[in-house]
Structure 1
Amino acid sequence: MASAEEYEHAPVPATARKSLLSVAAVWFGFPMNLGNAVFGGVIVYNLGLVQGLLAILAGNLVLFAYVGALSHYAGRTGKNFALQAADTFGTRGRIAAAGFLATVVIGWFSFQIGLTGSTLEDTLGWNPMWGAVAGCVVYTLLTVAGIRALAVVGMIATPLFVILAAVAIGYGTTHSSLGDAVTYQGAGSALGFGGAVAIVIAGFSDSGTMTADFTRWSKTGRSAVAATFFAFPLSNFLAYALGGVVVAIGGSADPAADGGGFLPLLTGHGPLLTAVAVLFVFVNLGSVASHCLYNGAVGWSALTPLRMRPLALGLGVLGLGFALAGVWGHFVEWLNLLGVFVPPIGAVLIADQLRRRGRAVSDVRAFRWNALGAWAAGAVVAALAHYLLPGSPDPLFGIAVAAGVYVLTDRRTRSPEPAPEADTEPAVIPTP
């Protein structure tokens, strides 16, 4: 498995593409994680169950449209995110977009490592440092195994999450009922509907923008979109919703901070269930962490002469250092950063791909300044919306402005009858 080609520097050829089930398993297992259950619980704590679920659904529908559009192009061409970015931002300009996102996802990897240590400490009293180190080793080895391992861990993590969440909710309903949960109106006031939608979008804006690293393995563009559907809205909504139900039934001791994290509900019921809960921590958080590290390693390997696996090892050590330094604890600020700076990147990519309508790039440039400028404009507007309009869905402002500015400033010269872009078009991108 570890010797399989990962196609860091070229499109995935048709002969290496994988089935819909395989690619869907990669994406399906990614959002089904404890972190999303926490966020779902926080949203429901502030909005109530019904309104909270509507906000979660709205955010997921935005993600499906956004990630699905990027996935279609990836499945049709076999290009990873960095190769896509070269088409839109230029062979040198792509470094800004691809390098930024490949670094940002290492922050998510660090967060999962830190969450592993703190979760094991809270539930079992383990030393958080050693829990984080153990998590880092396991998650890095999963990443080194490649895309096949991501599919396998996704197939395991998803049913395990659903089963244990159902068991936890069963234990949590000893003092309330699911009927009571439906009428739960929330007890917080720190989050409005728009802010909840923004959290859902920001939570997967980085890896969602880099979806091509996963969906380039699809056989067709339509297959890539179908694989995306399994993540957004299906898997992501379910993970958020289960966390929301945990809060609505009163199953969280501190819902304002811990949201719908349901692991404490699974401990204290015998050694067997506790052991399963510990295994669940590593499988579930490992699914998320390995996906993020894979994004980072593929991204940086595409920008350098290096291969994915050695980079995964180095980035894994770097992520562990960040986690042990406590960087992972600045989570709210992290989400704000993602919601402001990341979605405009994908908006520019989508606008460029729609403008070309499947045609290959005929004028390869080092920098496409209008694309870089549109990204900057979208980020500025999203930042202004975040600080001047608190509680607004600021990622949507950034997406709309970035796409609009790009379309208005695009003056690309096209040949009268440009050839359509081949599904496995070779890409020769100068290495910086």
Structure 2
Amino acid sequence: MSTTRTQPSERAETVASDDYPLTEVPLRARRGFLSLLTVLLGFVFFTPTMLAGARISTAFYWEDLLAVLIVGSTILGLYVAFLAVIGARTGLTTVLLARYTLGRYGAKWASVLLGGTQVCWYAVTAVFISELLVQAFGLEGYTWVVIVLSSVLTGITAYYGFRGLEVLSGLSVPLMLALCCWVVFQALDAVGGWGGLAEVAPEESMPWATAVTIVVGTFVSGGTQTPNWSRFARLPWQAFVAALGAFLIGNLLMLVFGAVGAIAFQAGDFVVVLLQLNLVLAAVTLLFFNVWTTQETTAYAFGVAGAEMFGLASKRPFIIAGIAVAILLALTGIYEALPQYLLLLGIFIPPLGGVIIGDHLFVWRGSLRKLSRTRFLAVRWSCLSAYVLGTVVAFVSDQLAIGLPPVQGILTAIVAVPVAERLFRAWGVETRHTSVEEQ
């Protein structure tokens, strides 16, 4: 084995060139806490998240709404933080972790589910960008051109890997935070301060659990794929703190910003709010770069999912293909289905993260055999059953409006893993992968 040391410039080049889509991230390519936090904040500082806050703001008084946003963001933050730790400990992407949990073919479902939902998010965001540009610059009739051009442009940095994410996020996050704070200040001034905000009566009704599920759904798909980036953390605690800070505090801020703007200006779309404030050029510039940071991480996510799906040691072809599919979806009107889409994400994706967490805690006990030394089962029926059970519980809970469906789905999946392991082993079904040396 070579003992040649890799210089910092060489490390950056290695990370940028391939990002290890089918292997563990080696220690030489790991990065510091600030780097990871910057990338994750760039991911969650996502203006369409404001749309979710705006949509549910019409159904609650301010105090009740704030409680919904805090509870939902706390659930999301803790869930993502645990997954981030697993990613940092193993150096693996979410879809590679799913290979351990669901088996060689079972992991393909995770790749389809996670990669597919991220492609849909890319399409939703492409429409958001085009709407902003069309309204701001009077480009009616050229919407499809704007969608195509912006979708291609925002995927470029994902093509070049983690380093591209880090640089762009570092530029856009402070600017976006400043813009949002200014909008909130203007909104409070228009509505008569926090007291006036609290007096605004809801115009619609929505079950509390449904609202929390929508909040969790804002980033449960992207959050489940946090190991894609936390695998670059040098220490697990860095991954935990960065993920909790980004998905609890960062995502909560975006929801609050969207809700306050919607209540004050009676506009459910943040683009409309900005245009009402005559923030045309500044808003377009800042928001475009903000959305770009999320689009690049989204493209990165469906890129590594595609790499696992087809066993190709490069994410780049799948980034290109995913963007092409997203453009087609964006031109079909997917934007209007966002609330329903978020609700479905809050039901079907959390149990997947839950089963990965449960498998890591109760079966592998925090220690995974290296990919190159593991002969994977085709399907791990025990964990697949735990996932299905968690999904059924989340779905039924949502349909009957009982409790918090995402939480119940996650917890059911976690607890079901050790139970299913014992049952399937008692039935004589193999539930553990073997070492290559054992064959």
Q: What TM-score do you get using the length of structure 1 for normalisation?
A: 0.87
**Which shows bigger deviation, 182-191 or 397-406?**
182-191
Is the alpha carbon distance of 1:71 and 1:173 closer, same or farther for their aligned partners in structure 2, counting shifts above 3 Å? closer
Match for 2:282 among 253, 276, 283? Answer: 276
Are 2:419 and 1:408 aligned? yes
1:62 is displaced (CA, Å) by 0.8
Q: How does 1:238-253 map to 2 (within 5 A)?
A: 238-248=253-263, 250-252=264-266
Q: Would you say the 8 A contact 1:71–1:215 is kept in 2?
A: yes
The equivalent residue for 1:299 is: 305
Are 2:403 and 1:395 aligned? no
Are 2:54 and 1:41 aligned? yes
Match for 2:241 among 223, 226, 232? Answer: 226
1:112 is displaced (CA, Å) by 0.4
Are 2:366 and 1:358 aligned? yes
Q: Would you say the 8 A contact 2:188–2:194 is kept in 1?
A: no
Q: Would you say the 8 A contact 1:47–1:192 is kept in 2?
A: no
Q: What TM-score do you get using the length of structure 2 for normalisation?
A: 0.86
The equivalent residue for 2:77 is: 64
Q: How does 1:77-156 map to 2 (within 5 A)?
A: 77-126=90-139, 127-156=142-171
Cα distance in 1, alignment partners of residues 351 and 405 from structure 2 = 11
The equivalent residue for 1:30 is: 43
Q: Would you say the 8 A contact 2:103–2:380 is kept in 1?
A: yes
Match for 1:334 among 336, 341, 345? Answer: 341
**Which shows bigger deviation, 304-313 or 168-177?**
168-177
Cα distance in 2, alignment partners of residues 128 and 363 from structure 1 = 49
Runs of 4+ in 1 over 4 A off after TM superposition: none
The one-character-per-residue Cα deviations of 1:228-250 (angstroms, maximum 9, x if unpaired) are 022121111111111222234x2
The one-character-per-residue Cα deviations of 1:362-406 (angstroms, maximum 9, x if unpaired) are 88422110111111111122222222328x532122222222322
Match for 1:378 among 390, 396, 414? Answer: 390
The one-character-per-residue Cα deviations of 1:280-321 (angstroms, maximum 9, x if unpaired) are 232122122211111000111123243112221121111111
**Which shows bigger deviation, 42-51 or 56-65?**
42-51
Cα distance in 1, alignment partners of residues 83 and 31 from structure 2 = 18
1:148 is displaced (CA, Å) by 1.3
1:4 is displaced (CA, Å) by 2.4
Question: Superposition RMSD on alpha carbons, in Å?
Answer: 2.3
Cα distance in 1, alignment partners of residues 358 and 190 from structure 2 = 51
The equivalent residue for 1:75 is: 88
Question: Which secondary structure state, in structure 2, belongs to the residue aligned with residue 367 of structure 1?
Answer: coil
The residue identity in structure 2 corresponding to 1:192 is P
Match for 2:351 among 344, 360, 373? Answer: 344
The equivalent residue for 2:3 is: none
Question: Which secondary structure state, in structure 1, belongs to the residue aligned with residue 366 of structure 2?
Answer: coil
Number of residue pairs matched by the alignment:
405
Cα distance in 1, alignment partners of residues 156 and 168 from structure 2 = 12
Q: Would you say the 8 A contact 2:132–2:284 is kept in 1?
A: no
Question: Which secondary structure state, in structure 2, belongs to the residue aligned with residue 151 of structure 1?
Answer: helix
Question: Which secondary structure state, in structure 2, belongs to the residue aligned with residue 344 of structure 1?
Answer: helix
Q: Would you say the 8 A contact 1:205–1:342 is kept in 2?
A: yes
Point out where structure 1 has 5 or more consecutive residues left out of the alignment: 268-272, 414-426
Cα distance in 2, alignment partners of residues 262 and 22 from structure 1 = 32
Cα distance in 2, alignment partners of residues 198 and 409 from structure 1 = 27
The equivalent residue for 1:420 is: none
Bigger proportion of residues as helix: 2
Question: Which secondary structure state, in structure 2, belongs to the residue aligned with residue 222 of structure 1?
Answer: helix
Cα distance in 1, alignment partners of residues 400 and 96 from structure 2 = 36
The residue identity in structure 1 corresponding to 2:405 is D
1:328 is displaced (CA, Å) by 3.5
Cα distance in 2, alignment partners of residues 193 and 367 from structure 1 = 37
Q: Would you say the 8 A contact 2:210–2:401 is kept in 1?
A: no
Cα distance in 1, alignment partners of residues 130 and 256 from structure 2 = 25
The residue identity in structure 2 corresponding to 1:54 is A
Q: Would you say the 8 A contact 1:75–1:218 is kept in 2?
A: yes
Question: Which secondary structure state, in structure 1, belongs to the residue aligned with residue 104 of structure 2?
Answer: coil
Identity fraction in percent? 25
The one-character-per-residue Cα deviations of 1:58-88 (angstroms, maximum 9, x if unpaired) are 1111112211111111101111112111111
